[in-house]
């Protein structure tokens, strides 16, 4: 970016600052453009969004406040329009719509919305609303009852594998862990000629972390751990084994001269891009193109240069904080 003062190219400056939000203080890796000659700092719209999102993400995490997409998803699981959902919750229509658009709910309203996520409690709220005769509420009652009796053991088991309590946090890149997206990401990276497991782990890491660097959200919501060979998805062996058992992947084993055994994954079906946004697809393409011709050993070396590994590696028991994404050197 060009400085308006000197007309010269500025550099990106990152420094930890304490930012106040709702009378509380949060640590933020503050991004600005720095004019070297004048010493002035400038915050453009992109950096302003990055800085602000860091604050509100931490606030939501601290108080377990649902994110806008979560609020909308709660409503949509009952197939209710926004105006009817606001009536069930006893909130003004404009107030509720603002929450779905990104406005931060009060703690009391956040708890109310979270209660509605449970179909048992939603039915109670629906009865209390006294509006049961409306056709929309009839549909909502039916959907709530279906959710109550629906058993989705496979997805529950995946959440256990990912060590997730279905909450967004700095360790999930403020996305809810989505096993379907992770499965498709694997298929995307192993398409064409397949991919070795070690390199596949790094491709997944760079995809999630580079996307967070740009949009303050990971793609899969997966947690990553630092091991000797670089960052890897938590429980990656079990996850890949599950994908093989599902018939999504095949695995070829190869013994190397040093006695080691490599695992190469081959796709058994095509990648489904319908689960992803255009920005997410672009991130996947960028990572795949950048690392396409890089050997597994060189990818390991590249990942060892990232703060996400060098600093997190000091405490291998904890997942990697996505804040390290802002310091990625490869992207």
> What does the domain layout of the chain look like in residue ranges?
11-63, 68-150, 156-327
Distance from chain centroid for Cα 87: 31
The pLDDT value given to residue 150? 66
Q: What is the CATH number of domain 11-63?
A: 3.10.20
Residue 325: CB partners within 8 Å, gap ≥ 6?
173, 209, 210, 212, 213, 308
State the Cα angle at 175 between 288 and 279, rounded to 5°: 40
Instruction: Tell me whether residue 156 is exposed, middle or buried, using C-beta atoms within 10 angstroms of its C-beta: 0 to 12, 13 to 18, 19 or more.
Output: exposed
Question: What's the pLDDT tens digit per position in 271-323?
Answer: 999 999 999 999 999 999 999 999 999 999 999 999 999 998 776 678 999 99
The pLDDT value given to residue 166? 64
Total number of residues shown for the chain = 331
Share of the chain above pLDDT 70, in %: 93
The pLDDT value given to residue 255? 80
The pLDDT value given to residue 153? 44
Q: Which residues of the chain have pLDDT under 50?
A: 151-159, 161-164
The pLDDT value given to residue 254? 85
> Is 281:273 a contact under the CB 8 Å cutoff?
yes
């Amino acid at each position: 970016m060009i400085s308006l003062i000197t007309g010269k190219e500025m550099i990106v400056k990152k420094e930890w600052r304490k930012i106040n939000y709702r009378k509380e203080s949060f640590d933020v890796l503050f991004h600005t453009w720095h004019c070297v000659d004048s010493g002035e700092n400038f915050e453009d719209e992109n950096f302003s969004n990055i800085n602000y999102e860091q604050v509100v993400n931490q606030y939501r995490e601290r108080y377990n406040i649902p994110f806008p997409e979560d609020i909308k998803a709660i409503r949509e699981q009952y197939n209710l329009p926004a105006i009817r959902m606001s009536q069930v919750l006893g909130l003004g229509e404009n107030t509720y719509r603002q929450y779905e658009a990104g406005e931060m709910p009060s703690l009391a309203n956040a708890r109310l919305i979270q209660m509605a996520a449970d179909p048992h409690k939603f039915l109670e709220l629906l009865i209390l609303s006294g509006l049961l005769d409306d056709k929309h509420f009839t549909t909502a009652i039916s959907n709530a009852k279906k959710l109550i009796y629906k058993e989705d053991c496979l997805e529950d088991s995946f959440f256990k594998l990912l060590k997730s309590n279905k909450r967004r946090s700095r360790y999930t890149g403020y996305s809810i862990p989505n096993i379907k997206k992770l499965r498709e990401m694997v298929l995307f990276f192993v398409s064409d000629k397949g991919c070795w497991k070690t390199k596949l782990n790094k491709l997944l890491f760079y995809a999630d972390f580079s996307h967070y660097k740009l949009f303050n959200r990971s793609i899969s919501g997966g947690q990553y751990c630092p091991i000797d060979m670089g960052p890897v998805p938590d429980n990656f062996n079990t996850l890949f084994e599950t994908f093989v058992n599902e018939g999504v992947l095949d695995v070829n084993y190869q013994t190397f001269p040093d006695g080691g055994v490599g695992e190469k994954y081959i796709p058994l079906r095509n990648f489904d891009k319908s689960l992803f946004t255009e920005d997410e697809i672009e991130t996947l393409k960028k990572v795949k193109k950048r690392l396409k011709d890089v050997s597994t050993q060189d990818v390991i070396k590249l990942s060892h240069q990232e703060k996400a590994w060098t600093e997190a590696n000091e405490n291998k028991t904890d997942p990697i904080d996505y804040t390290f994404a802002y310091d990625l050197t490869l992207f």
